[in-house]
Amino acid sequence: MRLLVLAMLVVFTGCTNIPLQTRPKVPATGQPLKTVAELGALPDATAKSKAAFAEASKVLTHARCVNCHPPDDSPRQRELHEPHDPPVARGLGGFGSPNMYCPTCHQLENVEGTQLPGAPNWHLAPIEMAWLGKTPAQICNQLKDPARNGGKSLEKIVDHVTNDKLVGWGWAPGGEREPAPGTQKVFGELMAAWAENGAVCEEESR
Amino acid sequence: MTITLDVNGKQVEVDADPKMPLLWALRDVLGLTGTKYGCGEALCGACTVHVDGDARRACVTPIERVADGAKITTIEGLSPDGSHPLQKAWVAQCVPQCGFCQTGQIMSAAALLKRNPAPSDEEIDRALAGNLCRCGTYLRIRAAVKSVGGAK
């Protein structure tokens, strides 16, 4: 009889509501991000540059950014950087492999009523631009190195992070995803302040 | 709004919201019910069709995105009489059990073979990773694909 009751419970309640792992509760709005003015009066350009990057790195190390900057062939998802489900590979140019190209599923915008994210040009960042697992200082030096930043000048990097629509998706990710901190505009201004004041990086810890 | 789609080699007009998922247009407006609704979130692959030869999940693709002359192929258009080599292989290997996912599986496999005529087991598994089968016919699906594509 007990077995019958148990079987009925399984049939009527289903088994899929047991989470595979405990996931953090995701806030609907992003964490705050200080503006350049809110960083306060700083003694020199080096201090201004470092402070701006330290604040901007809240975005650069956020799941909405690093999940698509992995050091391997698998994009990540959710706040704990879980492997992409279904499994997909980086493929040519970061756009996936045959049959599982990013646009096979991802559209130009988030698909309403689903968890499926989307934005123009949906793809992975090149592997040399991997940020996942790196410190702000490591990312800072990477951003200044043309071999690891897609051959971009600092000006182009600032323009990219300020205006690119795929970058901008990070602040409107839809679904159960925490948006990146602040806004794309404030993030762009912080990156510009970092660059204009010498693009100074903290020393990488050894 | 009237939108013109190229489906299985024919120009068809659909009077619908541009955001309507392609799957609804195919099934409810055009009566092409071979393509199946599974999850509605691009997670199961049951709704797979081809757009310009590549696999695409019809349940999340708005018709406005495929209205500019993109060539849409459904299972009905894969071969005129069901004699595509993959369809024959599916029969020969007795692949389907309930059969619900098989349209998507065949369309994904056909798109794979166009790009990679002789895929390895690993390549087949990777390419069909987004097509789920609750009956668990994966080994027979792989065998059928391999029988058409030839083994590496």
- A152-204 per-position pLDDT tens digit: 999 999 999 999 999 999 999 999 999 999 999 999 999 999 999 999 999 87
Establish if A206 belongs to a structural domain. no
Residues 6+ apart with CB under 8 A from B37: B23, B27, B46, B47, B59
Establish if A109 belongs to a structural domain. yes
Is the distance from CB of B23 to CB of B35 less than 8 angstroms? yes
Residues 6+ apart with CB under 8 A from A171: A30, A64, A179, A180, A182, A183, A184
Asked if residue B99 and residue B52 are part of one domain, the reply reads no
Establish if A49 belongs to a structural domain. yes
Domain that holds residue B15: 2-78
Q: What is the CATH number of the domain that holds B55?
A: 3.10.20.30
H/E/C letters for each residue in chain B? CEEEEEECCEEEEEECCCCCEHHHHHHHHCCCCCCCCCCCCCCCCCCEEEECCEEEECCCCEHHHHCCCCEEECHHHHCCCCCCHHHHHHHHCCCCCCCCCHHHHHHHHHHHHHHCCCCCHHHHHHHCCCCCCCCCCHHHHHHHHHHHHCCC
Establish if A160 belongs to a structural domain. yes
- The domain boundary, picked from B58, B78, B98, lies at B78
- B71-73/B54-57 β-pairing: unpaired
Is B61 an interface residue toward A (CB < 8 Å)? yes
Distance CA A168, CA A180 (A): 9
* Identity of residue A140: C
Asked if residue B50 and residue B10 are part of one domain, the reply reads yes
Residues of A in contact with B55 (CB under 8 A): 99-101, 104
Of B40, B62, B115, the CB nearest to A114: B40
Q: What percent of chain A has pLDDT over 70?
A: 89
Asked if residue B129 and residue B73 are part of one domain, the reply reads no
Instruction: Average the pLDDT over A140-149 and give the result.
Output: 95
User: Residue B145 pLDDT > 80, yes or no?
Assistant: yes
Instruction: Average the pLDDT over A92-113 and give the result.
Output: 93
Asked if residue B89 and residue B142 are part of one domain, the reply reads yes
Beta-carbon separation of B127 and A87 below 8 A: no
Number of CB atoms found within 10 A of residue A66's CB: 20
- Can you tell me the ipTM of this complex? 0.92
DSSP structural state of residue A91: B
Is the distance from CB of B79 to CB of A62 less than 8 angstroms? no
Nearest C-alpha neighbor of A181 from the set A23, A12, A21, A35: A35
Establish if A55 belongs to a structural domain. yes
Establish if A204 belongs to a structural domain. no
Question: How many domains does chain B contain in total?
Answer: 2
Asked if residue B69 and residue B16 are part of one domain, the reply reads yes
Asked if residue B45 and residue B8 are part of one domain, the reply reads yes
- How many inter-chain contacts (A to B, CB under 8 Å) are there? 62
- The domain boundary, picked from B22, B45, B78, lies at B78
Domain that holds residue A29: 2-196
pTM of the model: 0.89
User: Residue A19 pLDDT > 70, yes or no?
Assistant: no
Question: How many domains does chain A contain in total?
Answer: 1
Is the distance from CB of B1 to CB of B17 less than 8 angstroms? yes
* Average pLDDT of chain A to the nearest whole number: 90
Question: What confidence score (pLDDT) does residue B149 get?
Answer: 83
Q: What is the pLDDT of residues A33-52, one digit of tens each?
A: 999 999 999 999 999 999 99
Instruction: Average the pLDDT over B86-100 and give the result.
Output: 96
Q: B84: which 2 tokens?
A: 């595509």
Is B47 an interface residue toward A (CB < 8 Å)? no
C-beta pairs of B22-28 under 8 Å, 24+ apart in sequence: B22/B49, B22/B56, B22/B58, B22/B59, B22/B61, B22/B62, B22/B63, B22/B66, B22/B72, B23/B47, B23/B58, B23/B59, B23/B61, B25/B63, B26/B58, B26/B72, B26/B74
Asked if residue B96 and residue B64 are part of one domain, the reply reads no
- The domain boundary, picked from B78, B97, B123, lies at B78
Q: What is the CATH number of the domain that holds B125?
A: 1.10.150.120
Asked if residue B90 and residue B74 are part of one domain, the reply reads no
Asked if residue B73 and residue B53 are part of one domain, the reply reads yes
Question: What confidence score (pLDDT) does residue A27 get?
Answer: 77
